[in-house]
Amino acid sequence: MINIRQLNKFYGGRQILRDINLNIDAEEVFSFIGPSGAGKTTLLRLIDLLERPTSGTILYKGVNTAASENIRIETRRKMAMVFQRPAMFGASVFDNVAYGLKVRGEKNPRLADRVGKAIQDVGLAGYEEQDARTLSGGEIQRVALARALVISPEVLLLDEPTANLDPVSTVTIEKLIMKIIGEMNITVIMSTHDMAQGQRLAGKIAVMMEGRILQTGDPGLVFNKPENHLVARFVGVENIFEGNISSNSDGLVNVAFGPHVLEGISDLSAGEKVNIFLRPEEITLTPSRTATSARNSFRGEIMRISLNGPLARVELDCGFPMIALITRRSAEELNLQKGQNVYASFKATQVHIIKR
Amino acid sequence: MEEIGAAFVTALKLIITGDPEVLSITLRSIIISGSATILSALIFIPAGSAVFFSEFPGKKGLVNLINTLFSVPTVFVGLVVFIAISRSGPLGGLGLLFTPGAMVTAQALLISPVITGLSISALSGVRPEIKDTALSLGASRVQIAITMLREVRYAMAVVVLAGFGRAISEVGAGIMVGGNIRGYTRTLTTAMSLETSMGNIEFSMALGIILITIALFVSIIVYRLQRL
Ligand SMILES: Nc1ncnc2c1ncn2[C@@H]1O[C@H](COP(=O)(O)OP(=O)(O)OP(=O)(O)O)[C@@H](O)[C@H]1O
Ligand SMILES: [Mg+2]
């Protein structure tokens, strides 16, 4: 549907996007994920043809969008974007939603029908005559969504659709987006800085940092098998060690890091320099060394326990720092205290090893 | 002091009893300055918009020049229009000199920098997100311009009122090209300057009170509009 080739974007002398290559398929839900300033908004604006790349091409259904001004406008009219902070025209909700149809020359009674239905779809029936600028943040987001959807776009661009909303409104908007994805034959390209939201909504994600796409793929894959330590950090891998493979027997490897050794699964051979990724929620804590199927167990002192909702984040000193994430309830059952010694265990299959 | 007090009372009486001379001068003022404002707005709001929406070398300089002309002396505008419409001037054939039409022309020209300049600054106040939103929803360049003008409709009303305020309170240009002819081109300001010089303070004061009231009215409307 959309193919991006060697795209670069400069603002002034600063490079904002670096060598972006990307293929987005029809009816896919594709999400850019990355921290603030990564370039997500800039990339979405380029895809919506609001701005021109400094170099590189964007193909829409195989057509080069930079070919002529006419193609740019025609292609733009097949897409609709909901901005990070949607702006409302100084007019009623109805007129805001009707805008895209009016500029396309749609006339009553079809206009009123389609607008009415779009407003109903986002749950704002009855708000038609209200001044759109007096709406709440969540309502504005819904009007923006209706305003984009009413034109039946082939591609819907959503820039951080819930970034400015409270948790309740976030759930409402996410439900709406899921409904849209389910009911319409539409390609959705969105951005978020929330990994969990990416996993909930997207079929495919691209992790962006400092203007680059670091990894693209299925959300589960990116989440569990990050390709480098930047992606790993971003998706919540808090334990990252540098080591060397000391032996490999049929895929079960010993990895040395400092004076320590742990076991993992890898097809890399002995001598390879590697990064070791271990998610904190994969670690179990026990007061004594117990017999489990976990191949790895390290004794460490509890340095700090921080409670966060139903979870407890435990920082350990095992001769190297290690972070474990367990449920608050099990932390209470184990009666974990600062200064106490515990065993941190994890399976070889939970260690993710990549070449450094 | 007592004299001034007595003059003030007489002035109020003139207004309250609806003195026909006071009434007709007031009406004439509003009609002449109102027409000048409408004429100027019809030409110079589009002109200002054209400047705003187009890109050309020297645009910044032009905008600066327009803003400088906000306070162009009224007698200077009066002189220019006088030369243009006098018998031997380029527009002499129209026979406009010493007619209300001449006053409308002079006032329209006088407030044209205000109308043009304030239109440009009103449009500059539109948030860039509005333009992006319109563009993203498929609007053409012309449609975007219309959308932005609609966004600033209240600000444009303020622009028009500011123009009207300057037109109705000016005196120099009106006297020069209108001639201050009684019952024909005599307005609030030109009548005040004449009556005061003739020592007719009560009458002058009555007109002054009306002028101030109109100015007050205009600024109340402006204040209301700016809060919308
Ligand atoms: N018009 C512009 N002129 C100059 N710099 C810009 C412009 N737009 C964006 N930038 C810069 O480009 C970088 C990327 O910005 P962008 O808005 O794309 O990031 P983002 O990933 O959307 O961030 P956020 O999550 O905060 O929205 C930022 O450093 C920003 O300052
Ligand atoms: Mg952004």
CATH numeric code, B2-226: 1.10.3720.10
Residue of chain A minimizing CA distance to B150: A90
A148 touches chain B (CB under 8 A): yes
What backbone torsions phi and psi does residue B157 show, to the nearest 5 degrees?
Answer: -65, -40
Ligand 2 center from residue A41 Cα (angstroms): 4
What is the A194 CA–ligand 1 centroid distance (Å)? Answer: 17
* pLDDT value of residue B225: 87
Please work out whether the CB of residue A38 comes within 6 Å of at least one atom of ligand 1. Answer: yes
Asked if A343 is an interface residue toward chain B (Cβ–Cβ < 8 A), one would say no
- Residue range B40-70, pLDDT digits in tens: 999 999 999 999 999 999 999 999 999 999 9
pLDDT tens profile B169-225:
999 999 999 999 999 999 999 999 999 999 999 999 999 999 999 999 999 998 898
Ligand 1 pocket member A42 (CB < 6 A): yes
- Check CB contact under 8 Å for B136 and A151: no
Is residue A9 within 6 Å of ligand 1 at its C-beta? Answer: no
Chain B residues interacting with chain A (CB cutoff of 8 angstroms)? 127, 129-130, 132-140, 143, 147, 150-151, 153
Distance CA A44, CA A24 (A): 13
Confirm or reject: Cβ of A10 under 6 Å from ligand 1.
no
> Is the shortest distance between the CB of A89 and ligand 1 below 6 Å?
no
Chain A residues whose CB is inside 8 A of the B139 CB are 99, 103
**CB neighbours of A156 closer than 8 A, spacing ≥ 6?**
A79, A80, A81, A82, A148, A149, A180, A186, A187, A188, A189
Q: What is the pLDDT of residues A56-68, one digit of tens each?
A: 999 999 999 999 9
Asked if this assembly's ipTM is beyond 0.85, the reply is no
Q: Which of A7, A9, A11 to mutate to test the pocket of ligand 1 (most atoms within 8 A of CB)?
A: A11
Atom of ligand 1 nearest to the CA of A211: 14
Domain locations along chain B: 2-226
Q: pLDDT band at A258, cuts 50/70/90? A: confident
Residue A48 with chain B: CB contacts under 8 Å: 136
Q: Is the CB of A193 under 6 A from ligand 1?
A: yes
Specify the pLDDT at position A167: 87
pLDDT at A292 over 90: no
DSSP H or E stretch at residue A111: helix A110-121
Q: Would the pLDDT of B1 be above 70?
A: no
Beta carbons within 10 angstroms of residue A132's beta carbon: 23
User: 3-class DSSP state for residue A135?
Assistant: coil
**What CA–CA distance (Å, rounded) separates A206 from A183?**
24
Q: Which ligand is nearest to the CA of A17?
A: 1
Is the per-residue pLDDT at A166 higher than 80? yes
Q: Judge: A148–B137 Cβ closer than 8 Å, yes or no.
A: yes
pTM of the model: 0.83
CA distance A24 to chain B (A): 20
Tell me the three state secondary structure of residue A173: helix
- Please answer yes or no on whether A80 and B140 come within 8 Å at the CB atom: no
Give the pLDDT confidence score for residue A236 in this predicted structure: 84
Average pLDDT over residues B119-147: 94
The yes-or-no verdict on residue B123 having pLDDT over 80 is yes
Write down the pLDDT at residue B131. 95
End-to-end CA distance of chain B: 44
Place of tokens 């793929």: A217
Question: pLDDT confidence of A290, banded at 50, 70, 90?
Answer: confident
Q: Whose CA is nearest to atom 30 of ligand 1?
A: A37
User: Does B99 score more than 70 pLDDT?
Assistant: yes
Query: Cβ of A219 under 8 Å from any chain B Cβ?
Result: no
Q: Do B143 and A103 touch (CB under 8 A)?
A: yes
| pLDDT of the residue at A99 | 97
Consecutive H or E run containing B220: helix B201-226
How far is the centre of ligand 1, averaged over its atoms, from the C-alpha of A47 (Å)? 15
Q: Tens digits of per-residue pLDDT, A307-336?
A: 988 899 999 999 999 999 999 998 898 888
Q: Which residue has the higher pLDDT, B225 or A112?
A: A112
Provide mean pLDDT across the span B67-88: 94
- CA-nearest of B176, B166, B157, B179 to B214 is B166
Check residue A132 and give its pLDDT.
95
Sheet-wide strand order for A2-11: A14-24, A2-11, A55-60, A63-64
